[in-house]
Amino acid sequence: MSSKILFLFTISVSIFTLFLPTNSDIVSDRATLLSIRSALRGRSLLWNITSPTCSWPGVICSPDKSSVLELHLPGMGLLGQIPPGLFSNLTKLNFLSLRYNALSGVIPANHFMICGNGFSGQIPDLNLPSMVQFNVLNNQLNGSIPSNLAGQPKDAFLGTSLCGKPLDSCDGSSSSIGEGKKKKLSGGAIAGIVIGCVVGLLLLLCLLFFCCRKRGKKETRSADVGAVSKQVEVEMPEERGVESNGGKDGFLGSAIAAIGVGGGFLFLCG
């Protein structure tokens, strides 16, 4: 009889413990998410407080629903500033994405994917595992990149004023060298353009000079030929005038003149 009572008591305790939370992580995580909901504006307001925490959009819990493991809130239109240290209360959180929102303020030390926001200031020293994905693309961040993030891809820091590996050095040595090369190249290109223009102008002037000179020679020759032809035309009427005034003598004079001009023979009959 006593054994049956002990067995029933054990079963009752086991059934009762099934309805009790295994730990307080999910309770703490729920309180943290509600604090985020009240601090920010946007689609996070769609989290229904009457629904289980693990059913909220963007919230991924562990298989036993005991804690929040991932928080995916990209492009949710979130506005405002995140209170410092708020996400540190999510003790089991291993993935956080807040990219492409309108968040501002100083970047918290436990944010991973925050590209496309308005965070400003410097990146704090982060103690992140090597496999964690980190992205602060298109934020108003400045200063040097922490050494433990030097192995992250360069694309994760574009659109910021950060310096150091994997970007250019903070002392500006690499950037100044690059700018010097650009200035040298641009100066050489300008010099080449100027020299080319001068040479082209000289060639054009030489071509115009030779064309004008050739045209002047042709005009001089044409003038000489015209003068000779006018002289012949003027002399011929004078010789014909002798013919009209001298009868036969004039006729003979004309014939002789014609012979002299033509350089041939003239036969007179009758």
Alpha-carbon torsion (69, 73, 79, 81), positive or negative = positive
Could you tell me the CATH number of the domain that includes residue 68? 3.80.10.10
* Banded model confidence at residue 41, pLDDT cuts 50, 70, 90: confident
Residues contacting 151, CB < 8 A, separation 6+: 130, 166
Nearest-5° Cα angle at 186, 180 to 191: 125
CA distance 52 to 39: 20
- Run of H or E residues at 210: helix 173-262
In a domain, 41, yes or no: yes
53 pLDDT above the threshold of 50: yes
Cβ pair 138, 115 in contact under 8 A: yes
Using left for φ > 0, alpha for ψ between -120 and 50, and beta otherwise, residue 152 falls in beta
Q: Please give the mean pLDDT across all residues of the chain.
A: 68
Find all residues with CB under 8 Å of 169, minimum gap 6, and list them. 163, 175
In angstroms, the CA 162 to CA 144 distance is 6
More confidently predicted of 197 and 7:
197
- Give the Cα separation of 186 and 194 in Å (integer): 12
For residue 226, what are the β-bridge partners? none
Residue 35 has pLDDT above 80, yes or no: yes
Q: What is the mean pLDDT of residues 59-72?
A: 88
Give pLDDT, residue 180.
Answer: 46
pLDDT of 234 over the 70 cut? no
pTM, whole model, 2 decimals?
A: 0.42
Comparing 23-32, 164-173, 230-239, the range with the smallest average pLDDT is 230-239
Nearest-5° Cα angle at 231, 225 to 232? 95
Residue 145 in contact with residue 138, Cβ under 8 Å? no
**Is residue 203 included in any domain, yes or no?**
no
- 180 located within any domain: no
Place of tokens 């964690």: 132
Q: What is the rounded distance in angstroms from the CA atom of residue 244 to the CA atom of residue 220?
A: 38
Domain membership flag for residue 199: no
Range of the domain at 18: 2-171
Tokens of 94: 């291993």
The token duo for 9 is: 């008591």
Q: What is the DSSP letter of 270?
A: -
pLDDT confidence of residue 261: 44
Which pLDDT score, from 0 to 100, does residue 5 have? 54
What are the structure tokens assigned to 265, written together?
A: 């023979």
In a domain, 109, yes or no: yes
- Has residue 214 got a pLDDT over 80? no
Assigned domain for 20 exists: yes
Number of domains in the chain: 1
pLDDT at 177: 43
Decide if 240 is inside a domain: no
According to DSSP, the residues that pair with 80 across neighbouring strands are 103
| Residue 146: inside a domain | yes
Average pLDDT of the segment spanning 226-246 = 49
Q: What confidence category does residue 150 fall into, taking pLDDT thresholds of 50, 70 and 90?
A: confident
**Residue that wins the pLDDT comparison between 128 and 139:** 139
* Structure confidence at residue 239 (pLDDT): 47
